[in-house]
Structure 1
Amino acid sequence: MKQKPLFTNKESKALDSLATKELGFHEQTLMGMAALSVFHANEDLWKTAESIWILSGSGGNGGDGYALAHTLFQEGYSVRCFATSPNKNEAGKFYEALVSKTIGAIGSVDDFYETWEEAEEDSVLLVDALLGTGFQNPLSEELTELIDTINESDVFFYRLSLDTASGWNPYLLGEKDSKAHSFVFADSIEELGTRKWENIGFIYEKDSIIPRYYESIGFPVRSHLNNVTFSKRYYLEADPENAIAIIKRKNKDHKYSAGSALFYGGAEGMEGAILLSEQAFSRLGGGISKISSPSLKISSLILKEDLSKMAKTSSLAETLEDPFLKKTKTIVVGPGLTQYPNDLSGWEVPEDFRLVLDAGAIPTKGSALPKGNQILLTPHVGELNRMTGITHHSVQAAYDTLVDFCPKNNVYVLLKSFVSLLVCPDGSSYVWESPNPKLATMGTGDLLSGILARYLSLDLSIPEAVHLALSLLDHSKQLEEPYPSAHQILKSLVEII
């Protein structure tokens, strides 16, 4: 899989300590490397600014700001520096002094306000170096006012944050105190040295995740990937070409080697959900499949559409005794069901079987889960809240719940949202951050369960199947139709492969 490690604030600090104390890096050198990385990554952006203002805090993040200011000034850009207070970081003090000697006096917060009042609209590019990733305390009134001014001002045509947007704390989302939500509305974030877990899902506009760019500065990232110092959180990158290549049938395939699956769902009046899930499986190359449903209409609906299909009206208990089950290793339960089937409670899933629970098969809190080694639950946020009895306002909060829930119940959970999160029984987790508004329509969850079944039927692991399924669905972004139906999305995926 294409994956990149994500580090928590605590892990990033430990990595910084490893670099400076054990490997002998000078913090001053790392700070300079960070500044150079940001400078070169944004050379086209700097050229658009009449003036660049850098607002620094008293810690290492502020030191990064001073180091960047020094580089920009030496390269001929118009730079002004303002600070909330003198820098306390030893490397930061060096660059603060360097800026004072070369650029001139560093302005205070009062100086910032005075200069801001006289500035013209859209004339300033602001670099936010106020607060680093380690800042967890409530904002002071002074900082809250400063950040609110930055956000509301029409002077700044662009806001670039170093490492994280100052004041951003995903764990405060949903808190009643409005002051907890004051953070810089960055247009982009430059992550320095490590990709930051706490930055995942940074969003202040309803339909857009703010872009983050990772800048390598020589941190010993690979030296830090062990079970003691790393919590096995990864960022998934799209792999669209591989998603297509793997799903295509091979010339030597027969109906079972091409993939087989059993689908159960579709209560009376909701048969379309399980039909769509099975269609995704079969039309994307699955060799053989069967639908079982509590609906009395299921056979007539399916055979009316395709005489080659297999369908049966039955209870889940009867379905689990179906001889077809012995010929397949992939089962999807839930699309089109209205409640959690009691027959799932405590069911011993046969060894090597892959069970996907979706929609109506997502349990409520207290329901007994089936038992097996490859069980995947695919809730959306509301279903996750119902399943755990906890309300979640961020992907980080969902992780905190699931990192206990998944090992305890020996299940994988894929949270479906604008940021998708897969948490595994072994404690590892994977984040998919690729918002796709075209998937915000009825039926796309059923579609995903069928695509997951397609990849799982090829004996892929659950993390691999999730990665490839999400990568394949990402192709729907290319559809010209602004609000495609789930059937239109499926049709486009079929055409691609």
Structure 2
Amino acid sequence: MKILSVKQIREADQYTILNEPIKSIDLMERAAFKSYQWIIEKFDNTYQFNIFCGLGNNGGDGLVIARLLSENGFLVNVFKVMHSNNFSDEFLENDKRFSKLYPKNISIIKKIGDIKPIDISKKNIIIDAILGSGLSKPISGIIEDTVKWINHQSCLVISIDIPTGLFSDDNSDNNLKAITKADFTLTFQFPKLAFMFPENEEFVGNLEVLDIGLHPNFLKDVKTNSFFIESNDLQAFFKYRKKYSHKGSYGHALLLAGSYGKIGAAILASKSCLKSGSGLITVHLPECGYQIIQTSFPEAMVSVDKNENFISEIPDISKYDSIAIGPGIGTEEETQKAFKLLIQSSKIPLIIDADAINILSENQTWLSFLPSNSILTPHPKEFERLVGKSSNSMEKMKLAKDFSSKFQVFIILKGANSMIVSPNGNYYFNSTGNPGMATGGSGDVLTGILLGLMSQGYSPFETCLIGVYLHGFAGDLALKTNTVETLIASNITRNLNKAFRETFY
């Protein structure tokens, strides 16, 4: 799914209006109806809705939702926030329609004292339809006062298209104290870039992207460098197995992982590698891990390092189809030398995680020698040590893009909506995953998934997209039988089967 700019979203609307064709007022009705459908699937008519409407098209959406809810037996109060003397034509038409049917259910808000107190004895929901995605400066006046009033209420808040006050992309110069804090954001057709950033979570809440039927020709042809990964984006990449294939058809993976006290990282990564389809895996680890991994994971072959407690050498790498290094290896000097030799020797892209990233951070001259299209998987602190500090997500995106382009590597910046940065300058944000995955070993599982996919012949680009999506989806499936507190990394691996099945079969 593409992530578009505000200008492109307006162009998509106009293209749809001209080429479907459909009137603007009817397109608004369609978008609002999608919101209404979502609402009535979640809430029954024991809830009372308090809908705050601005005077533009976002307010028009709110008025359509108010009419549809009222027509179906819901108790609705509409609050028109009079922040301007300008009204959109679609707002005026829907204001006329609602006022004709429910004139007593409308309040005019010119100052904060005009808002009727919400009856806390009833189940109330606030719908924020004050301002939409075209905002380019911080809100003020009665809009700011209304937003702050909404944020002080104890009831659930739903924002339509975008929380009022939030810019669609860069909010570094915004007034963060004057943005609606929604529990749900129902956005139309595309997510906004700002929705991908952790600092905006308190405003966006749970994101729902509603398909409002914008013209498919425009959606296909419009250019962007930002994408939101969904399962249908992966179908064209997937390699279905052939009847007469054998284990050699699916590659031999090499994992360099583990040190004394951290052999578990090697076990987690090697299991997820085979569970992601690799035909064979060899794990190179220190001698102290030999018996542990042979006992706990007999499917893995083992290459034993001469050092008892940490990796100090690399095996012959010529026979492997994919190579990953990092989980639990530590940063001993001999380990660093072995990693440097791996960089110098490898003819294929490497998957680099955890301590291997920390080693690179301390030896940045090595970056220029990384095999082209290698994949680096830092968490935020590892990224900061490797690439540099940033004050917000837009700065972080720029740093990641410059780093990826300079060294021709893929970066997977792990976290909510994990961000993949491609050497060609494109960004891909993941749609799967949950806070329960913020647990030790989760990153080791991802490394194993990536290693398993690349061994089967997936390109680094395909490996990143499929791997990150399946990792998050397996975590979501694990959450069905866990809470976010009890979910552990091995739960993710155990759900890879369901993740593959539900995504591709």
TM-score bracket for the superposition, by shorter chain length: 0.7 to 0.9
What is the number of residues matched between the two proteins?
Answer: 478
Q: Structure 1's 36 and 484: CA in aligned 2 closer, same or farther, altered over 3 A?
A: closer
Task: Tell me if the contact between 2:195 and 2:201 (Cα under 8 Å) persists in the aligned partners.
Answer: no
Match for residue 359 of structure 1? 354
Q: Structure 1's 121 and 401: CA in aligned 2 closer, same or farther, altered over 3 A?
A: farther
Q: Structure 1's 60 and 349: CA in aligned 2 closer, same or farther, altered over 3 A?
A: farther
Using CA pairs below 8 Å that are at least 6 residues apart, which structure has the higher relative contact order? 1
Task: Tell me if the contact between 1:54 and 1:79 (Cα under 8 Å) persists in the aligned partners.
Answer: yes
C-alpha separation between the residues in 1 aligned to 2:20 and 2:253? 52
Task: Tell me if the contact between 2:305 and 2:312 (Cα under 8 Å) persists in the aligned partners.
Answer: no
C-alpha separation between the residues in 2 aligned to 1:400 and 1:345? 30
Matches within 5 A, 1:96-495: 96-104=95-103, 107-110=107-110, 113-117=113-117, 119-140=119-140, 142-154=142-154, 157-169=155-167, 179-200=175-196, 209-216=205-212, 218-226=213-221, 229-238=222-231, 252-282=244-274, 286-293=278-285, 295=286, 297-299=288-290, 301-302=292-293, 309-313=301-305, 319=314, 322-323=315-316, 325-339=317-331, 341=336, 343-344=339-340, 347=343, 353-362=348-357, 363-364=360-361, 366-369=364-367, 370-391=369-390, 393-394=392-393, 398-469=396-467, 470-471=469-470, 473-474=474-475, 475-480=477-482, 483-487=486-490, 489-491=492-494, 493=496
Match for residue 9 of structure 2? 12
TM-score w.r.t. the length of structure 1 is: 0.80
C-alpha separation between the residues in 2 aligned to 1:382 and 1:255? 38
User: Which letter maps to 1:231?
Assistant: T
Structure 1, unaligned runs of 5 or more: none
| Per-residue CA distance 1:131-154 (angstroms, 9 max, x = gap) | 212213223254333222212224
Q: Structure 1's 225 and 286: CA in aligned 2 closer, same or farther, altered over 3 A?
A: closer
The offset of 1:328, in angstroms, is 1.5
The offset of 1:25, in angstroms, is 4.9
The offset of 1:379, in angstroms, is 0.9
Task: Tell me if the contact between 1:82 and 1:112 (Cα under 8 Å) persists in the aligned partners.
Answer: no
The offset of 1:188, in angstroms, is 2.1
C-alpha separation between the residues in 1 aligned to 2:82 and 2:306? 69
| Per-residue CA distance 1:54-94 (angstroms, 9 max, x = gap) | 21223321222233334444556544332233443233233
C-alpha separation between the residues in 1 aligned to 2:341 and 2:22? 55
Task: Tell me if the contact between 2:55 and 2:80 (Cα under 8 Å) persists in the aligned partners.
Answer: no
Q: Structure 1's 255 and 16: CA in aligned 2 closer, same or farther, altered over 3 A?
A: closer
C-alpha separation between the residues in 2 aligned to 1:348 and 1:92? 64
The offset of 1:491, in angstroms, is 5.0
| Per-residue CA distance 1:161-186 (angstroms, 9 max, x = gap) | 110111234867788x9x51442232
Q: Structure 1's 180 and 62: CA in aligned 2 closer, same or farther, altered over 3 A?
A: same
TM-score w.r.t. the length of structure 2 is: 0.79
C-alpha separation between the residues in 2 aligned to 1:129 and 1:274? 50
Match for residue 48 of structure 1? 45
C-alpha separation between the residues in 2 aligned to 1:495 and 1:200? 26
Let me know the Cα RMSD of the aligned residues. 4.0
Task: Tell me if the contact between 1:72 and 1:79 (Cα under 8 Å) persists in the aligned partners.
Answer: no
The offset of 1:312, in angstroms, is 2.9
The offset of 1:407, in angstroms, is 2.5
| Per-residue CA distance 1:87-142 (angstroms, 9 max, x = gap) | 43233233334444443385332576445326343343322111212213223254
The offset of 1:202, in angstroms, is 7.2
The offset of 1:356, in angstroms, is 0.6
User: Which letter maps to 1:270?
Assistant: K
The offset of 1:357, in angstroms, is 0.6
User: Which letter maps to 2:90?
Assistant: A
Task: Tell me if the contact between 1:336 and 1:359 (Cα under 8 Å) persists in the aligned partners.
Answer: yes
C-alpha separation between the residues in 1 aligned to 2:29 and 2:242? 52
Percent identity, aligned pairs only, is: 22
User: Which letter maps to 1:230?
Assistant: K
| Per-residue CA distance 1:16-68 (angstroms, 9 max, x = gap) | 34445787654333223222332333334574255433212233212222333
| Per-residue CA distance 1:421-476 (angstroms, 9 max, x = gap) | 22222233322233333322212211221121112111123343344434253332
The offset of 1:194, in angstroms, is 3.3
C-alpha separation between the residues in 2 aligned to 1:400 and 1:307? 42
Structure 2, unaligned runs of 5 or more: 501-505
Q: Structure 1's 328 and 232: CA in aligned 2 closer, same or farther, altered over 3 A?
A: same
Match for residue 503 of structure 2? none
C-alpha separation between the residues in 2 aligned to 1:494 and 1:477? 15
2:156 aligned counterpart, secondary structure: strand
Match for residue 27 of structure 2? 30
1:62 pairs with one of 55, 59, 63: 59
| Per-residue CA distance 1:366-395 (angstroms, 9 max, x = gap) | 44424434311111111122222123654x
| Per-residue CA distance 1:321-352 (angstroms, 9 max, x = gap) | x43x222220001112334946549946755x
Match for residue 91 of structure 1? 90
Task: Tell me if the contact between 2:251 and 2:321 (Cα under 8 Å) persists in the aligned partners.
Answer: no
